[in-house]
Amino acid sequence: MTHPVGTSLYARLGGYDALAAAVDDLLPRLQGDPQIGAYWKGHNTHTKARGRQMVLDFFVQALGGPAVYHGLDMKTAHHGLGITESDWAVMEGHAVAVLDKFGIQGREREEFLAAAASLKGDIVQGH
């Protein structure tokens, strides 16, 4: 599919429903991972659902969609968690697997991964 120049990454990825499906695929991967799943330990069903919506709103807004993210900035949200380079690499692996599952390739894949990488300094401790 060809998209006009200036079309948001949000639109090129398929909009809200496509991003919701990707988030709904990604979060169980992260939460069930033996290395990084501990970050969700102790969360109840409500806080997991709220967290899912915040992640989705963040992605939608950051990628040019119509949502408004009301959460903390990434540095504040991840401060004190002790997220390591190794944790980041695990998360990236899961994100790439989701991109693969949904057939996101080329320009959209590169732009998404670059946008995610731009957050690393605010998420990884000591980075």
Enumerate residues 6+ apart whose C-beta is below 8 A from 101. Answer: 25
pLDDT (tens digit, 9 = 90+) per residue, 19-41? 999 999 999 999 999 999 999 99
Q: Model pTM?
A: 0.90
Q: Indicate whether 127 pLDDT > 80.
A: no
Q: Encode 77-115: b = buried (16+ Cβ within 10 Å), e = exposed.
A: ebeeeebeeebbebbeebbeebbeebebeeebbeebeee
In the chain, what are the domains?
Answer: 14-123 (1.10.490.10)
Q: What is the pLDDT of residue 108?
A: 96
Average pLDDT over residues 13-24: 97
Q: Please list the alpha-helical segments (H only) found in the chain.
A: 9-12, 15-31, 45-62, 74-78, 85-101, 106-117, 120-123
DSSP-assigned letter for residue 70: -
Cα separation, 89 vs 119, in Å, equals: 13
Tell me the pLDDT band of 4, cut-offs 50, 70 and 90: low
Q: Indicate whether 60 pLDDT > 70.
A: yes
